[in-house]
Structure 1
Amino acid sequence: MRITDHTDGLTITANDVTIAEYRLGGEIDAVNTPKPHFHPLRTLSGAQVTDFAPEDHPWHQGLQFAFPRVGDHNLWGGGTYFGPDEGYKIVADQGRIAHQRWEQRANEGADVGWTEQLDWIGHNGEPLVAETRTIAVRASGASNAGWILDLTAELSNSTSEALTLATPAQRGRADGGYGGLFLRLAEGFVPGTLTGESGEITASGARSRTMILSGTTGAGDSVTLGLAFADTEPVGDQAWLYRFEDFPAIGWAGAYENAFTIPVAGSLELRHRLAIYDGVVDVDAVSADLAL
């Protein structure tokens, strides 16, 4: 694998196939919250898995890490949810997540990746969170058809008060706990069976450390995805939030019902894994790759 620079971030190739581009988000308008993100993500054969800024949700940007409420600020993009009666409204509360610098890079080899520093900034320029983000990419250890992406985010409170990371769920939206790592799938994605640690997953909000699904992209490519929370994630509120009927997306919903709180001078570490494969891959093989 190899990492190379481009004008707005980094490109990751495997055997000369571009499997991922990491973009710093400079082209995103203020309402949709500029933020670093991965797009496109592809299988080893080049089948595209992600979508970017679709018309129905232009603040969905490939694979992204953000929260709808960071204190009094919207770091997700689009409208802010004000409750079941008022719904979503676009108000001037959007901030941004800004890349500051690369700390470490492993540009070539069986394992590649980087560590970077980012600042989460409020709608009036207030510093909210200092993030250390670590990305690691490697080939699957269980199937020659896939590769694995790990994203670890250490979030440190930059304010002088306890800071809440919240979702629309805390304002009364049913199945509204999206926030954190979020995957917008390519248009036309059709899922097959969703499997968790205890068997089939049948509804959004399922509790499981892992989720595995095979499906077909809008271009007709068969793919398998494996998703996992790290065991060190705060226990008790992890859920898989997903949509397929109106648009295809999956969220690692770490604050599905209850908000995170980062104390003054404190920090919170969240770890996630995504495995991407060509074709239909055996559940046991994917599970082996998802062991964190």
Structure 2
Amino acid sequence: MTASHLSGQNFWGGNCYVHGEGYLRLPERVGSMRHDGFTDLTVTGERLDLTEELTWIAHGGREWAREVRGLAVHTVDEEAGAWTLDWSIRLTNIRDEPLLFGSPTTEGREMAGYTGLQWRGPRDFTGGGVFTPDSAPGVGAEKVMGSQGPWLAFTTEHDGTDAHSTLVFAHAPENLDGSSAIHDSHWFVRSEPIPTVAFSWAFFEEFALPPGESFGYRYRVVIADGAWDRDRAGRHLEALPW
């Protein structure tokens, strides 16, 4: 969970995209996140809930944002061969000026809108199939890159065992509500050369977070055995209340 382009800083790490020049090593633009502590850890027989507080720090040491991050592991379903990870963020601007959230695409690189919560898959997910509620299984990542929707699934056949896996990435309802979400979200997804999926919150356009203001998103990832199809993924999500 991070931001690749934030008011001129790169909290993603690594090289920085500069329009017309490509990716450059610019350490003076690379920010960091400080773990401030775990404020809650609740474990029951059926789920684990964890709350972490972090501070986003620009290069040079100025504190820019406070984050409250929530993770929950639940619905371990042996019959379905699946378990669920929920991930939430509440981010507050503690600067005296707006924070501008963007992506490589907002800086000029086409279809490179990665930012926000992103999964990077292992090697044997390379070339896997991608589908949404409105597409057929295995249509290919390029067909849904930059699209919008409540969920997206990624399936693969493992090379070395006769087995498949499916990951289903889902938005909480309020993420897609224009009256509550700070900005529209789009899918950033590739199956090659690196399998990856992001809930991109600033794919095509920047958005601003004013001083003292906050925004929040909630996400869900279902990790499942087998090659699920659209109907199975949809039914499983419908049975998981938010």
**Would you identify which runs of 4 or more consecutive aligned residues in structure 1 move more than 4 Å?**
140-143
C-alpha distance in structure 1 between counterparts of 2:94 and 2:188, whole Å: 29
Superposed displacement of residue 101, structure 1: 0.8
Superposed displacement of residue 143, structure 1: 5.3
Please name the residue that 2:169 is paired with: 227
Q: Are 2:37 and 1:90 aligned?
A: no
Pick one of 214, 217, 227 that aligns with 1:280: 227
Please name the residue that 1:169 is paired with: 105
TM-score by length of 2: 0.86
Q: 1:255 to 1:143 in 2, by over 3 A?
A: farther
Superposed displacement of residue 211, structure 1: 0.6
C-alpha distance in structure 1 between counterparts of 2:9 and 2:62, whole Å: 10
C-alpha distance in structure 1 between counterparts of 2:116 and 2:68, whole Å: 14
Contact 1:186 1:218 in 2 (8 A): no
Query: Structure 2 unaligned runs (5+)?
Result: 176-180
Q: What is the aligned-residue identity percentage?
A: 27
Q: 1:90 to 1:290 in 2, by over 3 A?
A: farther
C-alpha distance in structure 2 between counterparts of 1:81 and 1:272, whole Å: 27
Superposed displacement of residue 176, structure 1: 1.3
Higher relative contact order (CA 8 A, sep 6+): 2
C-alpha distance in structure 2 between counterparts of 1:82 and 1:192, whole Å: 30
Please name the residue that 1:186 is paired with: 122
Structure with higher helix content: 2
Contact 2:133 2:230 in 1 (8 A): no
- The correspondence of residues 12-91 of structure 1 with structure 2, limited to 5 A, is 65-83=1-19, 85-91=20-26
Q: 1:235 to 1:196 in 2, by over 3 A?
A: farther
Superposed displacement of residue 80, structure 1: 1.0
Pick one of 147, 157, 161 that aligns with 1:206: 147
Superposed displacement of residue 67, structure 1: 0.6
C-alpha distance in structure 1 between counterparts of 2:227 and 2:63, whole Å: 44
Contact 2:82 2:225 in 1 (8 A): yes
Q: 1:235 to 1:99 in 2, by over 3 A?
A: closer
C-alpha distance in structure 2 between counterparts of 1:159 and 1:143, whole Å: 49
Contact 1:106 1:114 in 2 (8 A): yes
Contact 1:237 1:257 in 2 (8 A): no
Superposed displacement of residue 239, structure 1: 1.7
Superposed displacement of residue 206, structure 1: 2.1
**Secondary structure in 1 matching 2:38:** strand
**Secondary structure in 2 matching 1:188:** helix
The root-mean-square deviation of aligned C-alpha atoms, in Å, is: 2.0
- The correspondence of residues 144-163 of structure 1 with structure 2, limited to 5 A, is 144-163=80-99
Contact 2:126 2:194 in 1 (8 A): no
C-alpha distance in structure 2 between counterparts of 1:154 and 1:228, whole Å: 18
Superposed displacement of residue 140, structure 1: 5.0
Please name the residue that 1:111 is paired with: 47
Report the count of equivalent residues.
227
Contact 1:213 1:226 in 2 (8 A): yes
Contact 1:136 1:149 in 2 (8 A): yes
Please name the residue that 2:199 is paired with: 252
